[in-house]
Amino acid sequence: MPKIAFIGAGSMVFAKNLVGDILSFEELSDSRITLMDIDEHRLEQTTEVAEAMVANGNVDATIESTTDRREALGDADYVLNMINVGGTEPFENEIRIPEKYGVKQAIGDTLGPGGIFRGLRTIPTMLDLAEDMEELCPDALLLNYTNPMAIICWALYESTDIETVGLCHSVPHTAEAIAEYTDIPQDELDYWVAGINHMAWFLECEWRGEDVYPLLREAMTDPETYEKDTVRFELLKHFGAFVTESSHHNSEYHPYFRTDEELIAELGGTNYAERMETATYLEGWKERSNERDNALAEFDDEEIRIERSEEYASRLIHSMETDTPRRLNLNVSNENGAIANLENDACVEVPCLIDGTGVRPCSVGELPPQLAALNRTHVNVQRLAVEGALAGDRERIHQAIKLDPLTAAELTLDEIHEMTEELIEANEAYIPDLN
């Protein structure tokens, strides 16, 4: 009966999915699940849904809830982190201040000014979480879902002995997209994917032993299909591989796609322009805030059922608890050179073998040089962001943003400096002191 602690469980829909995933495995259906959040109302909503799932599914799981993180962590075997630090004000600053300068972020949670400052305000809490784990559950596995994935995980690798892996659904979602574009059943695709979070590459993709890439290249010649994923098809055309994460996300990871409004509209396509607009994640997050406070309105307790989503957490836990071999793409340290031509201290997303002995990253060898080069543009930023956050080094944060591809495509060095200073001042209450 493993104890699984959910930190940040107030995100009810996501937490509900993860709880349902765990309970869907018979071998995990008697788990002790402890839900923790600092927002009592949202925690109560998640607890009610989880308890209904247990009752309706007639399983033996124990559901607990607490606003005390240390209580949640005590004797945990697995810790699932899904926190959001700071709320609306810093998020809005991270998007709107750069936008004022001309840096038009779509999401802002991975790289760029938004991702770097989101990392700055999240890392201190993550280090506190890891410190508590070292005292209360030192052998537990930390499964991180919070973005910016690579920056947060890298900071943890540098600062704690707690075993940490990052989980993201971009690989299965991308496989779903490839299956749609090529008219192939997703469960019949066989693929080998590696890179970094939100920029991993489908190095191999086969169906019944045949390469799927010719079908994918043919599919993108159809205008309707091309408009569904413009940026990723452009990257495929120019760099030779299909990348994880949506065109919406990828548009802000490169210097090519978000430098003027006409280009943004053009890449959005006739029917998909709204997906490419600036600040869509921020605006959607704000619109959904009221829904999150009233999430139970969408559910009838008697109708809540145990279902399994595509998320990796339950599969990973099941493999470790039952010694069932699986291969999943996870975010891990590159310390053993899983990707030979990326830095060994970077956080990489690679295939990992999981069973009762734990998580073992697979050796991918070298990425094609053009793909490794694109990944390095992010790794360089991530390194400086982590160093700046851990050391409270203002200059490192400035340098990280100056190396961001989208920011550098839009602004001069002096403009970037001014924008960064404004961000530091606006979010001073949410980030570490910077010297």
DSSP string of 380-421, one letter each residue: HHHHHHHHHHHHT-HHHHHHHHHH-HHHHHH--HHHHHHHHH
Measure the CA–CA gap between 272 and 261, rounded to whole angstroms: 14
Write out the H or E segment, with its range, that includes residue 287: helix 280-287
In one-letter notation, the amino acid at residue 326 is R
Which two tokens mark 201?
């590459």
List 41, 169, 238, 318, catalytic entry: 169
149 in Cβ contact with 347 (< 8 Å): yes
| Distance between start and end Cα atoms, the chain | 47
343 Cβ contact list (under 8 Å, min separation 6): 334, 379, 383
Element (H, E) at 196: strand 189-196
- Comparing C-alpha atoms, which of 307, 363, 370 is closest to residue 340? 363
Structure tokens at 396: 């490192």
| Angle of the 112-136 helix axis to the 369-391 helix axis, nearest 10 | 60
- Residue 169: active-site member: yes
How far is it, in rounded angstroms, from Cα 287 to Cα 282?
Answer: 9
- Cβ atoms within 10 Å of 196's Cβ, excluding its own: 27
Q: Return the structure tokens found at 317.
A: 């836990």
Residue whose C-alpha is closest to residue 389's, from 400, 397, 398: 397
Please, are residues 61 and 32 in contact by the beta-carbon 8 Å criterion? yes
Active site residues: 169
